[in-house]
Amino acid sequence: MSNEPKVRVGIIGAGGIVKQRHLPGLLAIPGVEIAAVSNSTTASTEAFCREHAPDARRFEHWQELADDAGVDVVWIGATPYLHAEATIFSLQCGKHVFCQARMAAELHEAERMWEAALSFPDRVTAICPAPQGLKGGEVVKKLLADGAIGTLHQMMLHSFSAAWLDASAPAHWRQRVEISGVQILTLGIFVEVMQRWLGDITEVTARGSIVFPQRGDCVVETPDLVNVLCKFRNGVEGAMLFSGVAANAPTDRVQIFGSDGSLSYDFVTDEILLGRRGETPTAVTVPPDMMRGWTVERDFIAAVRDPAAPRPKPDFTEGIRYMRVVNGVWDSMDQRATVKVA
């Protein structure tokens, strides 16, 4: 038997990411109980509980779950359109809140979430971090901080897939603005990662294109591809290219250039290449003590149990930082102009 205090988790939106990633992590922690579930339909709630949480109570309406005295933590796995409303209501009900990424559908919703978190400082809040670059990210930050490639001046990132290339396929929920809002492809993910490594983005110039404007009965408003020029506060100039309609293209990779060399990171293989000026780039080994793994659920529950424990990251402040950039990309596309990011 564990001596740890019991933590009762209520899940709002128990979809694929919850089943694949969060549920195994939560169930591996002694004393954590999946106490309640509310999915988009009664049938899907029942199906999830039968397979994964037979003792959990079923709620038809998520508000009832958030307000239930038998729930300590609300784990929001729903899509972005519900994040703000569910987060704010759950905090008002006295719950700790973990929110699946991306933070919200719109910037103003993310700002309301941030303000609500500030109003309940004794409640633990966090957003699911991007797993991209997790393994070697600390090494990258150290190399850059130590001047391994000199003074930084440029970065280039591409994130390509062919997931949306089939014009006959129905619209994915990520292509429906009423569900996903301003989120485009992996834009928010890599803005989060790049700002963690290089600091804040202060301006963007973006162009996007909708290659297939109609998918079944859905008029698509989310770009199938977007190209973003950006500037970081430290002066680095960046180009970030995203596409869901790129056949046979390389996938997710960033290259950072400095006065004395270059650094690249392959987000698929976690391979880091360091190239000094005039030398062939060579692989960088990630030391075991700097290698980071997926500890998201463990870190969150530890903070709930112990107010003195480190608060999990990214918090809502970091979420606001990437949401402002994503919103700026939309504004730039609409205005066909360079947009300053607050």
Strand, coil or helix: what is 71? coil
Going along the chain, which residue ranges are E strands?
A: 7-12, 32-38, 57-58, 73-76, 96-99, 125-127, 152-160, 201-209, 214-215, 218-219, 225-232, 237-243, 252-258, 261-266, 272-276, 282-283, 339-340
**What radius of gyration, in Å, describes the C-alpha atoms of the chain?**
21
Residue 125 has pLDDT above 90, yes or no: yes
User: Which 8-state DSSP code applies to residue 341?
Assistant: -
DSSP H or E run through 262: strand 261-266
Q: Tokens 């002066």 label which residue?
A: 235
pLDDT on residue 40:
93
> Dmax of the chain from CA atoms?
64
Q: Are strands 225-232 and 125-127 parallel, antiparallel or unpaired?
A: unpaired
DSSP state string for 232-255: ETTS-EEEEEEESS-TT---EEEE
Domains, in order of start, for the chain: 7-128+295-313 (3.40.50.720), 137-293 (3.30.360.10)
Burial letters for 119-142: b for 16+ Cβ neighbours within 10 Å, e otherwise?
ebeebbbbbbbbbbbbbbbbbbee
Q: Tokens 């089939």 label which residue?
A: 166
Question: What integer best gives the mean pLDDT of the chain?
Answer: 97
CB 38 within 8 A of CB 44: no
- Exposed (0-12), middle (13-18) or buried (19+): which is 340, by Cβ within 10 Å? exposed
Residue 2 has pLDDT above 80, yes or no: no
Residue 1 has pLDDT above 60, yes or no: no
User: Which has the closest alpha carbon to 210: 187, 191, 184?
Assistant: 184
Residue 243 has pLDDT above 70, yes or no: yes
Strand, coil or helix: what is 75? strand
Helix intervals (H) in 28-106: 42-52, 62-66, 83-92
CA angle 44, 82, 110 (to 5 degrees): 155
Of the pLDDT bands very low, low, confident and very high (cuts 50, 70, 90), residue 342 is: confident
pLDDT on residue 331:
98
Q: pTM of the predicted model, to two decimals?
A: 0.95
Tokens of 132: 């991209």
Helices (H) and strands (E) in the chain, counts: 11, 17
CA angle 89, 92, 94 (to 5 degrees): 115
- Residue 325 one-letter amino acid: V
Q: Is the peptide bond before 336 cis (omega within 30 degrees of 0)?
A: no
Residue 51 has pLDDT above 80, yes or no: yes
- Mean pLDDT of the 173-200 span: 97
Of the pLDDT bands very low, low, confident and very high (cuts 50, 70, 90), residue 4 is: confident
